[in-house]
Amino acid sequence: MLSLDTLALFSVACLALAATPGPDMLLIASRSASQGRGAGFATLAGIQAGTYCHALVAALGLSRLFLAVPFAYDAVRFAGAAYLLYLAWKTLSARASISDAPRTGSGATGGRIFAQGLFTNLLNPKMALFVLALFPQFIQTGGGDSVVLQIMTLATVLNLIGLLVNGVVIVLASRLADRLRQGTGSGRLPRLLLGGVFFGLACRLAWPDART
């Protein structure tokens, strides 16, 4: 079992990482601003489900495939970029204003948003390498505890801290968007913002230096 000292140190590292603005936070914030808190939390849930998947893959040793076979890394990277470009096109070409969509994470809309967050995370090989680089530093061997169980425990800690940090981001982004929407009465800007975020993330993932 992981010691309290190890969990405390890992929690501090996770807090520093979660509080640093990055692609996930940008996606969550833009989704919250465009479609409300429910959509933001649905996106976060999908991303965190993807984190569990990456952690399990790392525990099974499959993430090392990206290090050993560069083609596998690039294939997943470009697939992720293509998916993000598709989401950008769908968002920008939608006839109805995105602000008219249900501002809730429930039902079919919430399911689609969850799936988009999940696939965006799964198709980002940088996340797999991040888990592979960080988690082993906190794994305790020789105690008879399952490495898989330890890695999934660390993933849970990472997700809980991410929920706290990104929960604040979701609330603030949705409130700010509501105030702006009341002032302008336009839903075009949130739709352009979300589409622009998807496009920017696609370019970032497809860039030759995306591994760094």
DSSP 72-89: HHHHHHHHHHHHHHHHHH
Q: What is the pLDDT of residues 102-132, one digit of tens each?
A: 444 334 378 999 999 999 999 888 888 888 8
Which residues, in sequence order, are CB contacts of 160 under 8 Å at separation 6+? none
24 part of a folded domain:
no
Whether 22 is covered by a domain: the verdict is: no
pTM, 2 dp: 0.78
**Within a domain: 32:** no
Domain hosting residue 12, numbered range: 4-17+38-206
Give me the helices (H) in the chain, please.
4-19, 23-35, 37-59, 64-68, 70-93, 107-122, 125-134, 147-184, 188-206
**Category of 144 on φ-ψ map: left (φ > 0), alpha (ψ -120 to 50) or beta:** left
Instruction: With respect to residue 26, please indicate whether it lies within any of the assigned structural domains.
Output: no
Average pLDDT, the chain: 80
Q: Which of the two residues, 119 and 65, has the higher pLDDT score?
A: 119
55 in any annotated domain = yes
* Domain assignment present for 27: no
Binned at pLDDT 50, 70 and 90, residue 96 comes out as: very low
Q: How confident is the model at residue 42 (pLDDT cuts 50, 70, 90)?
A: very high
Query: What is the per-residue pLDDT across 157-209, written as a single tens digit (0 to 9) for each?
Result: 999 999 999 999 999 999 888 877 666 555 566 667 777 877 887 887 777 55
